[in-house]
Amino acid sequence: MATIAVLGTFDTKGMEHAFVAAQIRRRGHQTLLIDVGALDAPQIQPDITRDEVAIFGGVDLRALITRRDRGETVGAMAKAATAMVVRLQNEGKIHGLISLGGGGGTSIATAAMQALPVGFPKVMVSTLASGNTSPYVGVKDIVMVPSIVDVSGLNQISRTILTRAAGAICGMVEVEVVAGNDRPVIVASMFGNTTRCVEHARRLLEAKGFEVLVFHATGTGGRTMESLIDAGLVEGVLDITTTEWADELVGGILGAGPTRCEAAAKRGVPAILTPGCLDMVNFQEPESVPERFRGRRFYQHNPKVTLMRTTPSECAELGRILAQKVNLSKAPVTVLLPLRGISVISAPGQPFYDPEADAALFASWKAGLRSDILVRELDCAINDPEFAEACVEALLKNMGPR
């Protein structure tokens, strides 16, 4: 029998959460009702009160109630709920988490869900479960269920949706994850323009007994990879495709945030980094490119993807940023530079061939590194087999004997 946390704003959605809790108990599981409301009295009696949540999270609930600022309250209770839920999960007191809500309830509950490990059951029934859900899901495995109707009272539609959601969280905690022949995990970053390199490196590493998880460097992919590294699930990092930093710096659509390339460095995970696809910034259709970039060099990757070449000055700044990230490393790390092209389309004769920009990138990166960090320059393109082999060799050396 599992214990499933039912978390929500019980001042406005108490009866709906009570209904879900009843469905969970019908399946033979225990529930732990956690109230994170604040503005009005709770409609039902929780197991953990809003006052307990607020105290644990260092929130002055009385002051919030006095000010009645909804935005401030949602932010404060999201922080407090996160602290409470993480503690309960760490202590083994809950085995799943479900919540229901509109904008405020969804923000509070999914903030807590994002702090829980990958694989821990999380279900959010929300009026916002359509369109862009990335602010609520982040890089975690949160199941978002559209509420169809507003989460406000029980009717023939909402009873069906809430009953199915309760069944979903019960099924998630009941299912047994079958253990596989788990191998040490290495994560790798890839883009279409570095596929041949990463795939060759992956085959070599798998032949040596590693499991290689490949993440597409699309912003979400980079953030997800960083989150797994930070969670302690990774033994080595093959960061061949650092292209997300080009979008982050210049203003493309695939940035991964300012902490990209920090997780391995700060956690002390051996790594290699290369400038894969730092020659390109990503946009959608040509008409989506901001006016300030008119006159730049572009390449139409497909009808929905427009690539823009980074300039020498942008490349110099990218080198400076990446040197700063690498310098944070607590474990062995190597930078590998392919001198004949950092993507398929930046090699000699290709649309983004620009030796001046590449030279600015390489010089800036090398100049900014700590003296103890090894840099290898190879007279080949990034997708040549010898570059992938050099990456694998460097990573295995950094990881040491097994």
CATH assignment of the domain containing 300? 3.40.50.12030
pLDDT at residue 400, as a whole number: 95
Residues in the chain: 402
- Please tell me the predicted confidence (pLDDT) of residue 39: 80
Please indicate, yes or no, whether residues 198 and 167 belong to a single structural domain of this protein.
no
Using only C-alpha atoms, what is the Rg of the chain? 24
- H or E segment to which residue 156 belongs: helix 156-174
Q: Which residues face 236 on adjacent strands?
A: 186
Tell whether 158 and 306 lie within a shared domain. Answer: no
SS3 201: helix
CATH number at residue 109: 3.40.50.12020
- Regarding whether 276 and 164 lie in a shared domain, the answer is no
Q: Are residues 229 and 332 in the same domain?
A: yes
Quick one: 204 and 323 in the same domain? yes
Q: Which domain holds residue 322?
A: 185-399
In a domain, 334, yes or no: yes
167 and 269 housed in the same domain: no
Number of domains composing the chain: 2
DSSP, residue by residue, 55-85: HHTT--HHHHHHHT-HHHHHHHHHHHHHHHH
258 in any annotated domain? yes
163 and 202 part of one domain: no
Q: Is residue 201 part of a domain?
A: yes
Start-to-end CA span in the chain (Å) = 39
* Residue 63 tokens, joined: 């002051």
Final residue of a structural domain among 174, 203, 231:
174
Per-residue pLDDT 10s for the chain (402 aa) are 899 999 999 999 999 999 999 999 999 999 999 999 988 899 999 999 999 999 999 999 888 888 888 889 999 999 999 999 999 999 999 999 999 999 999 999 999 999 999 899 999 999 999 888 989 999 899 999 999 999 988 999 999 999 999 999 999 999 988 877 689 999 999 999 999 999 999 999 999 999 999 999 999 999 999 999 998 999 999 999 999 999 999 999 999 999 999 999 999 999 999 999 999 999 999 999 999 999 999 999 999 999 999 999 999 999 999 999 999 999 999 999 999 999 999 999 999 999 999 999 999 999 999 999 999 999 999 999 999 999 999 999 999 987
Which residue among 155, 174, 193 closes a domain? Answer: 174
CA distance readout (Å), 34 to 84, 114, 134, 207: 9, 17, 25, 48
- Are residues 336 and 246 part of one domain? yes
Angle between helices 156-174 and 10-26 (to 10 degrees): 60
In Å, how far from its chain's centre is CA 168? Answer: 24
Among residues 174, 205, 226, the one where a domain terminates is 174
My answer on whether 54 and 81 are in the same domain is yes
Tokens of 358: 């590449």
Token pair belonging to 159: 């009873």
Q: Same domain, yes or no, for 59 and 191?
A: no
pTM of the model: 0.81
Residue 67 is predicted with a pLDDT of 86
Residue 83 belongs to some domain of the structure: yes
Q: Are strands 271-273 and 333-338 parallel, antiparallel or unpaired?
A: parallel
Q: Is residue 106 part of a domain?
A: yes
**Cα 131 versus chain centre, distance:** 18
Phi, psi for residue 378 in degrees, rounded to 5: -120, 135
Task: Give CA–CA dist 184/217, Å, rounded.
Answer: 22
Identify whether 179 is part of a domain.
no
3-state helix, strand and coil shares in percent for the chain, rounded to the nearest 5: 45, 20, 35
111, part of any domain: yes
What distance in Å separates the CA atoms of residue 286 and residue 68, rounded to the nearest whole number?
46
In a domain, 169, yes or no: yes
Place of tokens 């009941």: 174
